[in-house]
Structure 1
Amino acid sequence: MKDSEGIVIPKNYLFGETPEDALPLDCGKKLYPVNIRYETYGHLDENGKNAILILHALSGDAHVAGHHKEDDKKPGWWNEMVGPGKPFDTKKYFIVCSNIIGGCSGSTGPRSVNPATGKRYNMTFPVITIADMVRAQRRLMEHLGIKKWLTIAGGSMGGMQALEWAFSYPECVQSVIAIATTSRLSPQSIAFDWVGREAIMSDPNWQNGNYEDTLPEKGLSTAR
């Protein structure tokens, strides 16, 4: 664990426990309650202005650096970039990375339990947009007492979220680092996404999206 953040403990932020505090979605529905799984590195300064938000790509998670356990074989997915003396220097900056809503790594998503039914959402989970993801991150920002992001960095779908931050909340962002991303998908990209979805849904373990413990791993592997 030399030259890394060492052991990092994931955190959870729960909000929207009542309909009045629900997260409004672009599809017209409201999501509540909402849990956001996130990790932080470094320390927030007194004026709350040394904060950097790092956003993961489609299959990423909040574990951007360090290890969860002593015997972890792999560190976080951007460990080379985040840590003491690294480009995102945790001796200078307060780094935040959260799992997107609709994801499958701790934040509220299709595998979460719908409080209205007591069962997993599965295919009843509402459609989530990039703007919805950012709207939830804005709530996390308020919870952490951050006044303005020094920068927001992300690649691929993470870069899309970074651009959405600049568009929807320009007063909250000083700068954006958008890597290998776009503000609009081309027809070819949409077609590739369709092929990936078909691969997942063709896996017998897909079970129309209502699978429990047996995952459509072959379909997921083909899709990625």
Structure 2
Amino acid sequence: MPSYAQSVIGVKDNKVYFNDLIPETEYKVEQTGYIKTRTVTADQCGLIKMSNTDSYPILNSGNYQDLYFKENDYWYYWTNYTDLTNYPKPSCQQVGGSYVLDGVIWDAGDGTGSISFIVTPEAIYLYHPQLIQPYSTHTVYWYGEWDDSNGIYTGNTRITKLKANSCGIARLNLAPFQKTAYDFPNTNYRWTLKQGETKVMDFNPNSSQINYTPICKKGVKFEPVSYQ
């Protein structure tokens, strides 16, 4: 069984290059500091429901969590789940020829009218008729928890799958992450390369820039004397 001294070669053309991985093997990179984005549409009442999913696990509690609605330039935040005893989940009901919200509504307190904002472990329910019209579509950003001690958002974790080629080389494109990263590039980023659930290495995506990358031809790797 050959041994593999996995390493990061460096960055070229906005891609991180890995060397000495197990050939033809799948890996994944856990990228922290990511801002999750989703598009949501209000129903007939103007009620938006955002479910908790593996790809968009927004419903944490315990510290400030912030959702930003791009088109309205408006922030919604919470620290804990809603007490459903006093604030039950709202729903849209048809009454005659119109639709009305069945739920507890209160004043937003900032001049933006009435609101209902319910956070449960399964979903967020949002009704804000002055800003969210029936059937309207909105772009939502989730920044993760607010880290008060450092004055930054922690961001989220993005999972990117990779596969090493026949020479044990793999590359990670940084562009998709950079589009919504909180403050990329940041020298404090520490990402993790995994094979399945086994950690292979931690690395900094802000690795040194390189001028050349190894070439793989029919399973044979050709490397420059120096990557710089």
Specify the TM-score bucket, using the shorter chain as the normaliser: under 0.3
Higher relative contact order (CA 8 A, sep 6+): 2
* Greater Rg over alpha carbons, structure: 2
TM-score (norm 2): 0.23
Q: TM-score, normalised by structure 1?
A: 0.23
The answer to which structure has the higher helix fraction is 1
